[in-house]
Each structure stands twice: as C-alpha cells, then as structure tokens.
Amino acid sequence: MPAGGKPTVRSRRLGAALKRLRLASQLDQDRAADAVDCSVAKISRIESGQVSARVGDVRVLLDLYGVQDGAERGRLEKLARDSNKRGWWLDYRTPTLTQLGDFIALEADATYIRSWQPVFIPGVLQTPAYTRALIAANPAVITAEAADEIVKVRQQRREAIQETGARFAAVIWEPALTAPMPSSEAHSAQLAHIAEISRQQNVTIQVLPLDEWAAARVATPFVTFAFGPEPAPEAVAFDSLSNTVILEDSDELVNYAHAFDTLRSAALTPDKSRAFIEKTIKSIPREGRNP
C-alpha cells in the first residue's frame, strides 16, 4: 500500500499508465493477473493507485504489454520504486506543507514544469522576503515556526528542480512584477533574483504585458507537469482557497496546454522579458529618497 495508507500521486500515475498500456494491448485484467500470479482485485487496485506495484511485477506487465522502449520502461519502474518513498517535505510538520505533498512530488518527478501566474511570483522563484510578505498577508494564522518552514521548503523546491535539470517555464503578468511590494528593497531583490535565474539554460521566463488582457484572462493561475521527453502536460495543478487541486484528465490537460501556448505567444520573448525586468528594477522608488 502507498505510504500513508492512501493513494499517492505517484501510485496513481503508475496505475493509470499500466491501465492505458493494458487496454492498448487489448488484454483484460484476468490476463494481467495470471502474468503476475495475483488476483484480479489486486490488478484493479494497482491500476487505481490504491496499492503500489512491485518493480518485478511492473517488468512482467510491461513485457506482457509489449513495451520495449527503454526510457518508458525505466520511467515506470522508477515510479514503482518511488511510490512508497518518503518525501523530504514530510520532515516538516506544518499542515500547509503536508497538503502540498502531491504537488511537490509532481514537481520533483517532472521533466517539464510550466507555470502561469497573473498575481504573484511563482513559488519556486520567490525570495524569502517575498514569501514572508505573502505569509504575513494570509488571513490564516501561521506561527513563526511554520512561516520559517514554508520559506525553507520553497527554497528547497527550487534547489530540487536545479538538481534534476527539469525545464521550467513561467509566464508572469506584468502587474505581478510591477505592483508595489512590502518594501522597495524586497521588490528590487525579488526582480533581480528572477532576472538572474532567467539566465539559466533550463529556465525560461516571459512577461505578459499589461495590455494583453485577453490572453491574461485565458485561465486562472496553474502549473502543468510533464514527465517524459515531451512537454505535453500529464498533470495540472491550481490552488483553491484551502488546498491544491490536481487534475489528470486528458481532456482537461489539452485545454491547459492550449492556454499556456496562448499565454506564451502573447508574452514578450525571454530576452525582452529580462530587459523589462531589469528596467523595472531601475524604476522602483527607493525608501528615503526625495521624489
């Protein structure tokens, strides 16, 4: 059974992939059960993510389904190994971080991450000062200890993406960058941080100009994840008032892929976006400076 006694995002992804491959090979669950010497009920639970498949069983099923692509086999075997792995984020006790577990697991496994943010700076791009300002503005009561943990996790998430080499792309609407922040110092530092990160080879930052209002309204904030060699999303996440919602329905994913393409097309190029950010930094009023 997956860690915690309930389906994890990894066990669900593995189960969905195995089900898709079984159906493509036109085999029923009885045939799969015979191959791994288990009950049909267990195959059903594996395909729904209720239980984790062992690596050996995954290999048998992939042979049965005729999957010969080495990269695909390796990806699914890794999912089987990692389904019960304890996430580093579980070392933190803040309930907010526990609720983010599936999101961080997607982020940790992804090869492509694409983020649209019209209001805030994307989480993995935030400086500690900016994150603390958001926490302070949150109507929920958050202790100083919990605030420290949230800041640490956001920094660790960025480090994890850098270590895996995942390709990260973000489209940020202009007001999220130009609107006043708690202090000019924090504002300048946050934008300088984004400009610096945008120079990394695996990072693409684009600014959507203020007057591109039609594109900005194509969708509320979201993040898509892909896990293979292609950027086509396999999961999408967005925030509700109290939690993070994750969608894996193929029809929904197509809509979000189209939405991101629309945003990216309407946004400034990466080079022009960096120039815009650097120009904005120079225009930020400094505290104590005469107008």
Is the model's pLDDT at 177 over the cut of 90?
yes
Is the model's pLDDT at 100 over the cut of 90?
no
3-state secondary structure of 226: strand
Is the model's pLDDT at 89 over the cut of 70?
no
At residue 161 the predicted structure's pLDDT band, cuts being 50, 70 and 90, is confident
Report the candidate in 90, 89, 78 with the shortest Cα–Cα distance to residue 227.
78
- What's residue 154's pLDDT? 84
Q: Please, what is the end-to-end C-alpha distance for the chain in angstroms? A: 64
Where do the domains of the chain lie, and which CATH numbers do they carry? 3-82 (1.10.260.40), 88-283 (3.30.870.10)
Is the model's pLDDT at 73 over the cut of 60?
yes
- What's residue 245's pLDDT? 84
CA angle 106, 245, 152 (to 5 degrees): 55
- Contact indicator for 76, 17 with CB cutoff of 8 Å: yes
The pLDDT tens digits of the residues spanning 126-154 come to: 999 999 888 887 767 677 888 888 888 88
Is the model's pLDDT at 38 over the cut of 90?
yes
pTM of the model: 0.80
Amino acid type, 9: V
The pLDDT tens digits of the residues spanning 222-266 come to: 999 998 888 899 999 987 655 678 888 888 899 999 999 999 999
Distance CA 8, CA 51 (A): 9
Q: Which of 57-61, 84-88, 249-253 has the highest mean pLDDT?
A: 57-61
Average of per-residue pLDDT across 198-206:
95
